[in-house]
């Protein structure tokens, strides 16, 4: 079989398996009490997903960007900030700052900044500059992901 990458926007809420499949007598009490999510797809189809499977695939909630004039799905600063899992800052030589950001999906972005004169070097300022560039890239990448989820690939 071929492998495919899928991206879609769904609605979901925590739910026990038994809450999604009422009337199915074949579920054991243990299975009925299993944690997961009730999932509603854009076509109205409703299903249930086990908690671990759901959270591995869908744990990127869409938040409304308050600065926009729409409540359509969009990227917010909160989403960008939350997508950066960790950062590491180092100084190379005596005037270059390098920042490595690890995103929630394991992807890494590295940015650097440098000044002309070592006397003017400030690691904190260099890190701020690098982090701004990293956040701009994360914003673009999440925008690409959201565009694909909303409109698919044609």
Tens of pLDDT along the chain (154 residues)? 998 888 888 999 999 988 876 665 677 788 888 899 999 998 999 999 999 999 888 878 887 777 888 878 889 899 999 999 999 999 999 999 999 999 999 999 999 999 999 999 999 999 999 999 999 999 999 999 999 988 888 8
Answer yes or no: do 45 and 99 share one domain.
no
The reply to whether 110 and 138 lie within a common domain is: yes
Contacts of 152 (CB under 8 A, 6+ apart): none
Check: pTM over 0.75? Answer yes or no: yes
Full domain range(s) for residue 101: 77-151
**145 shares a domain with 90:** yes
- Let me know if residue 81 belongs to a domain: yes
Euclidean distance between CA atoms 35 and 150, whole angstroms:
28
Q: Total structural domains in the chain?
A: 2
- Answer yes or no: do 81 and 142 share one domain: yes
Do residue 89 and residue 116 come from a single domain?
yes
Task: Indicate whether 117 and 86 sit together in one domain.
Answer: yes
Residue 66 resides in a domain: no
Long-range CB contact pairs, 130-135, < 8 A, 24+ = 130/89, 130/97, 130/98, 130/99, 131/87, 131/99, 131/101, 134/84, 134/87, 134/99, 134/101, 134/109, 135/80, 135/81, 135/84
Verify that 110 and 54 share a domain, yes or no: no
């Amino acid at each position: 079989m071929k492998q495919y990458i899928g991206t879609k926007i769904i609605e979901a809420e925590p739910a026990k398996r038994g809450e999604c499949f009422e009337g199915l007598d074949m579920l054991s009490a243990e299975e009925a009490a299993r944690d997961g999510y009730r999932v509603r797809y854009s076509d109205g189809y409703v299903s249930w997903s086990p908690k671990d499977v759901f959270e591995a695939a869908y744990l990127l909630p869409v938040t409304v960007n308050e600065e926009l004039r729409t409540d359509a799905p969009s990227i917010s600063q909160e989403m960008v900030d939350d997508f950066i899992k960790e950062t590491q800052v180092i100084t190379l030589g005596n005037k270059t700052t390098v920042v490595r950001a690890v995103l929630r999906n394991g992807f890494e972005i590295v940015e650097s900044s440098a000044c002309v004169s070592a006397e003017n070097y400030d690691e904190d300022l260099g890190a701020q500059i690098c982090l701004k560039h990293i956040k701009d890239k994360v914003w673009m990448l999440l925008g690409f992901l959201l565009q694909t989820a909303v409109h698919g690939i044609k």
